[in-house]
């Protein structure tokens, strides 16, 4: 994989909480799953799944996160089964050798653990898939750029619950970050891998 350097696949939040019938369901989840599954199947040892973990109760958080979970109270740990935060079964079968990183905000970068892990392995390129394009994927991509990684977003392997902001996010990323970010299809990436 010399053309992509030393790379890892970051699969953002492909969890039951977003796949199943919940208020956070992503309608395009099933459309992007085959591309993500193929990439994970071919490169399981290169794959890292992030998992968005809501708190047990809104009161344990501060600031606007408390307000956020007061709105989405039904998605907190005291109202939702813990297994809903698990990676969906078609992808979970790759763990291990794939790894998981739990996160409690949109970004997986805040506590430094993911960056330290990637840095220790000499990783210079991140391939991003998952959801939602305009929320957690966006936060993951911007953090990747901030840390100096070559960042590749597989445009047909990311999804959102809102088509308009998904499209706008891909346009923003392609237009504003063209030096630091590449958009490509999963097929093109896999063909080059």
Residue 73 lies in a domain: no
pLDDT, tens only, 86-134: 999 999 999 999 999 999 999 999 999 999 999 999 999 999 999 999 9
Give the CATH number of the domain where residue 42 resides. Answer: 3.40.50.850
pLDDT at 10 over 60: yes
pLDDT of residue 4: 76
Q: How far apart are CA 7 and CA 48, in angstroms?
A: 11
Cα 167 to Cα 25: distance, rounded to the nearest angstrom:
18
Beta-carbon contacts of 160 under 8 Å, excluding residues fewer than 6 positions away, are 26, 28, 131, 132, 133, 134, 135, 166, 169
SS3 189: helix
Residue 110 counted as domain residue: yes
Specify if 9 maps to a domain: yes
Evaluate whether residue 81 is within a structural domain.
no
Encode pLDDT of 55-72 as tens digits.
999 999 999 999 999 999
Domain that holds residue 133: 2-53+87-192
pLDDT of residue 100: 97
> Residue 185: inside a domain, yes or no?
yes
* Burial (Cβ within 10 Å: 0-12, 13-18, ≥19) of residue 153: buried
Tell me, what's the pLDDT at 5? 78
Is 26 inside a domain boundary? yes
**Beta strand segments in the chain, E:** 7-12, 47-52, 99-103, 125-131, 150-159, 181-184
Share of residues in the chain with pLDDT > 70 (%): 99
Does residue 20 fall inside a structural domain? yes
Look up residue 139 and give its two tokens. Answer: 């936060």
The pLDDT-based confidence of 3 (bands split at 50, 70, 90) is confident
Flag whether pLDDT at 53 surpasses 80.
yes
Tell me whether residue 136 is exposed, middle or buried, using C-beta atoms within 10 angstroms of its C-beta: 0 to 12, 13 to 18, 19 or more: buried
Residue 157, Cβ density class (10 Å: 0-12 exposed, 13-18 middle, ≥19 buried): buried
**Mean pLDDT over the full length of the chain:** 95
Going by pLDDT thresholds of 50, 70 and 90, the confidence category of residue 83 is: very high
Predicted confidence (pLDDT) at residue 1 exceeds the cutoff of 50: no
Number of structural domains in the chain: 1
Asked if the structure places residue 17 within a domain, the reply is yes
- The pLDDT score that the predictor gives to residue 2 is 46
CA distance 108 to 6: 20
Q: What is the pTM of this model?
A: 0.94
| Residue 23 banded pLDDT, cuts 50, 70, 90 | very high
């Amino acid at each position: 994989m010399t053309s992509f350097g030393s790379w890892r696949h970051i699969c953002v939040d492909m969890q039951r909480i977003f796949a199943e019938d919940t208020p956070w369901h992503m309608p395009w989840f099933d459309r992007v799953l085959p591309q993500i599954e193929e990439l994970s199947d071919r490169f399981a040892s290169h794959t890292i799944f992030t998992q968005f973990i809501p708190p047990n109760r809104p009161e344990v958080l501060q600031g606007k996160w408390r307000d956020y979970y007061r709105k989405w109270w039904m998605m907190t740990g005291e109202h939702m089964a813990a297994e809903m935060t698990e990676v969906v079964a078609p992808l979970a079968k790759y763990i291990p050798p794939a790894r998981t990183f739990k996160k409690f905000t949109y970004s997986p970068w805040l506590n430094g653990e993911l960056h330290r892990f990637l840095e220790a392995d000499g990783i210079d390129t991140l391939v991003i898939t998952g959801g939602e394009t305009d929320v957690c994927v966006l936060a993951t991509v911007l953090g990747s750029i901030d840390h100096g990684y070559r960042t590749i977003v597989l445009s047909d392997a990311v999804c959102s619950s809102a088509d308009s902001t998904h499209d706008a996010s891909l346009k923003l990323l392609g237009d504003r970050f063209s030096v630091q970010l590449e958009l490509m299809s999963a097929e093109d990436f896999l063909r080059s891998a």
